[in-house]
Amino acid sequence: MKLTWYGHAAFGITAADGTMIITDPYTPETAGYPPIQAKPTVVITSSDNDSYHCRADLIPGNPTVINALELARSGAPRTENGITFHAIEAMEALNHRYHDPDQNGMYRFEVDGVSIGHMGDVGNPLSDAQVAFFQDVDVLLALTGGHPTIELDDLKVVIDRARPRLVVPMHFQTLTYKPHNILWIEQFLRYFPPEAVELALSSEIELLAGQFAQPTRVLVMDYVRPC
């Protein structure tokens, strides 16, 4: 499978058969990242009211759209194009500095034998049930920018307990991200020894089932640049 980072919490996951999933698309004008040009099979969003995480309407083509919060509340997984999506409820930071906290959904799915977890927009320490939801995923797409998402100390607890094989940071400050209200990636990388961190130097990587090993490693990706 191929993993592409568009910026913020938006990734593209492309299976060997061409099936493509896009996660948490943003509003380009406010986020600062370029419009997503890909035409996916499925778009999954962590909420329906956060313009940094829910803009499925801006994605080209006619993809199936899954709202992870609705999926979590349904109490059952959903399968589209042979890929099964699971979700669990979460909430933005209870001490959110900018507005009242909203509910959202965290989610996981498997593509080509690689299990992927996405932390949505959670802003608080995870409960035992939420940690168990991510137990032993191959790839954790992790919120590494601090408030208003999960604080880094609490995120490290999640990683230590869930033990993902690979952590791919997202939702951190870059030179492109416009709000300038979250942390740079260096803050998160201080929690890991240098030998556990790799810089992809690319917005796109190939991941294969069976290539992952413990202990947890961190892979920092670049975001897709405008053409």
Inform me whether the pLDDT recorded for 63 exceeds 80: yes
pLDDT band at 226 (very low <50, low <70, confident <90, very high): confident
pLDDT band at 26 (very low <50, low <70, confident <90, very high): very high
Task: Specify the pLDDT at position 96.
Answer: 76
Half-sphere exposure of 14 (CA within 13 A, CB side): 12
DSSP type of residue 207? -
Picking from 96, 115, 114, 112, the residue whose alpha carbon sits closest to that of residue 104 is 96
pLDDT in tens, 72-85: 999 999 999 999 99
**Angstrom distance (rounded) from CA 70 to CA 68:** 5
Judge whether 140 and 108 are in contact, CB under 8 Å. no
Kind plus residue range of the DSSP H or E element containing 142? strand 139-143
Over residues 17-38, mean pLDDT: 97
Inform me whether the pLDDT recorded for 137 exceeds 80: yes
**Widest distance between CA atoms in the chain:** 43
pLDDT band at 144 (very low <50, low <70, confident <90, very high): very high
Inform me whether the pLDDT recorded for 88 exceeds 80: yes
pLDDT in tens, 89-106: 999 988 877 767 789 999
Domains and CATH numbers, the chain: 2-220 (3.60.15.10)
Task: Specify the pLDDT at position 93.
Answer: 80
Picking from 45, 92, 33, 100, the residue whose alpha carbon sits closest to that of residue 70 is 45
Over residues 113-118, mean pLDDT: 98
Share of the chain above pLDDT 70, in %: 100
What average pLDDT does the structure give for the chain? 96
Task: Specify the pLDDT at position 122.
Answer: 97
Picking from 176, 201, 199, 202, the residue whose alpha carbon sits closest to that of residue 189 is 199
Task: Specify the pLDDT at position 212.
Answer: 87
Inform me whether the pLDDT recorded for 214 exceeds 90: no
Over residues 194-201, mean pLDDT: 95
- β-pair type (197-199, 217-220): parallel
Two tokens, residue 220: 């920092």
Picking from 32, 24, 214, the residue whose alpha carbon sits closest to that of residue 136 is 214
* Counts of helices then strands in the chain (DSSP H, E): 5, 14
Task: Specify the pLDDT at position 210.
Answer: 87
Model-level pTM greater than 0.75? yes
Task: Specify the pLDDT at position 115.
Answer: 98
Judge whether 24 and 54 are in contact, CB under 8 Å. yes
